[in-house]
Chains A and B, each alone.
Chain A
């Protein structure tokens, strides 16, 4: 296993369009996290899954954002009606059932024009 992967790595979209990102965690990891990172800042927590259940959501996750992990493996993050303020790096991380460490993917950089 080569670690957490994310697709696409870069996405440019026009304001008002919908976008979807995918995250594939490390195979034995049952916990999955989404973060948003803007330039010059640390990552901000968005949401957390344990297996297929979405157990925590940040207030940062507006109604335009939705995340799923239907089979407890990969996850998708969708942003509807994108706004310029959504431009950021979207990071995915995973961790094992008994571990506190989170392992991060390379991120998807979103640019909304």
Chain B
């Protein structure tokens, strides 16, 4: 069963606008962590933001925020004031306490920022 689902293969956003990248997850473990990574065309995987399953508030890191809706099992990434350098592939991922701590990734969303 797919544990992490990213339904948007590709997205476009105008420079300086905000964009939301969707992520839903599936787990029966009460303890888990949700992560977003950015992969530019150069290939490296860059950690962006983390949300814990017990966190009461949505995580924020600079222009990145995570819209965490636990009951819906969704963890959408919001990028505010998009920049050309935000053009990349974005991956949602999950670590479960019961599952060796490995990261399980979604299929990714390609974001293109238009000038």
State whether these chains interact.
no
Q: Interface on A for B, CB 8 Å cutoff? A: none
On B, residues with C-beta under 8 Å from A are none
